[in-house]
């Protein structure tokens, strides 16, 4: 009986002197973080934000998030009809302050020679670039044995060289102004590589490395560099992915269909960007575990991936 009362007293002591203060500290920290994010978001008003891949998915959702903060949004992608649709939807929004009309510019990331002209068009329309979000890209669904080398080149041209060339074209005037923010929307597959995604994972690994070098070199010019690595987001990424022959995959993966909504991801990304986080991950539990295993228990990670490669089921 005394033992039971002793346990009850111990629990009561813990709740009073540990649990309640800890809960209070967490609540205060959460409130401070939200207020800080709100203040930083307010600084986005009239900022010029260029978003590639803005015709759908994460890029479209990011356009909405930045527009709602009063940013001048430059919508870039290959499909002008879809960009015009996004622009129309943005302008139909009711926001509590005056926002500049979104700018629509066609952009094919695989056309590396066109990046200088694209940036020139942005400067002619907006005067400068405050934030460049490299979001456009394509994915891959095929084994290495079944993938033609042209597919590797096509994906690398879009996902890696396209973002690099656009960044290089935008940097000189950012350096001149000593202000700017380069953002790369990468993937957890830039941190780990899984079977049947070799071309996509390789392109995202390359972006991670380029961003690390860029961040170091741009520090003296006061230019920020962020890499955001999402897990599964419910977009058309798997539908538009390339197979080994270069044809369109055309299948919605179960994991992608069950992913975060683009709107949820965009709001999280917005805070990561305004907080100028150098590297951020927004993912589900399974990819987070895989990232942990790859860095801390690589042998177990390799075993799990070998098992996955032997299965027809996708993660």
Show which residues are catalytic. Answer: 200
Which residues are within 8 A (CB) of 241 and not within 5 positions of it... i.e. 6 or more apart? 138, 139, 140, 141, 200, 248, 249
Cα(156)–Cα(112) distance, integer angstroms: 12
Cα(169)–Cα(114) distance, integer angstroms: 10
- Residue 178 buriedness (CB in 10 A; 0-12 / 13-18 / 19+): exposed
Which residues are within 8 A (CB) of 137 and not within 5 positions of it... i.e. 6 or more apart? 53, 109, 158, 159, 162, 163, 185, 203
Write the DSSP assignment of the chain as a string of letters: -HHHHHHHHHHHHHIIIIIHHHHHHHHHHHHHHHHHHHHHHHTTTT-EEEEETTTSHHHHHHHHHHHHTT-EEEEEES-HHHHHHHHHHHHTS--SS--PPPEEEE--TT-GGGHHHHHHHHHHHHS--SEEEE-----B-S-STT--HHHHHHHHIIIIIHHHHHHHHHHHHHHHHT-EEEEEE--GGGTS--TT-HHHHHHHHHHHHHHHHHHHHHGGGTEEEEEEEE--BSSSTTTS-B-TTS-B-----HHHHTSB-HHHHHHHHHHHHHTT-SEEEE--HHHHHHHHHHHH-HHHHHHHHHHHHHSS---
């Amino acid at each position: 009986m005394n033992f039971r009362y002793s346990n009850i007293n111990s629990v009561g002591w813990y709740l009073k002197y540990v649990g309640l203060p800890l809960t209070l500290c967490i609540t205060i920290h959460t409130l401070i973080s939200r207020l800080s994010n709100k203040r930083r978001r307010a600084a986005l008003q009239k900022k010029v934000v260029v978003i590639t891949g803005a015709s759908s998915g994460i890029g479209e959702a990011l356009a909405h998030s930045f527009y709602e903060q009063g940013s001048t949004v430059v919508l870039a992608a290959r499909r002008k009809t879809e960009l015009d649709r996004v622009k129309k939807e943005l302008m139909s929004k009711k926001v509590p302050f005056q926002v500049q009309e979104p700018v629509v510019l066609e952009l094919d990331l695989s056309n590396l020679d066109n990046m200088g002209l694209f940036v020139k068009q942005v400067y002619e329309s907006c005067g400068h670039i405050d934030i460049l979000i490299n979001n456009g890209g394509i994915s891959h669904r095929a084994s290495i044995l079944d993938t033609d080398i042209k597919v590797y080149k096509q994906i690398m041209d879009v996902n890696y060289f396209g973002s690099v060339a656009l960044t290089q074209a935008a940097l000189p005037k950012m350096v001149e102004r000593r202000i700017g923010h380069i953002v790369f929307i990468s993937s957890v597959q830039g941190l780990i590589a899984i079977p049947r995604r070799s071309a996509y994972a390789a392109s995202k690994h390359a972006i991670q490395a380029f961003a690390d070098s860029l961040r170091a070199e741009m520090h003296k010019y006061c230019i920020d560099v962020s890499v955001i690595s999402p897990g599964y987001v419910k977009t058309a990424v798997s539908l538009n992915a390339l197979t080994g022959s270069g044809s369109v995959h055309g299948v919605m993966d179960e994991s992608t269909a069950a992913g975060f909504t683009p709107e949820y991801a965009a709001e999280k990304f917005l805070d990561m960007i305004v907080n100028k986080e150098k590297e951020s991950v927004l993912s589900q539990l399974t990819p987070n575990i895989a990232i942990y295993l790859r860095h801390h228990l690589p042998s177990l990670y390799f075993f799990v991936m070998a098992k996955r490669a032997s299965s027809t089921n996708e993660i």
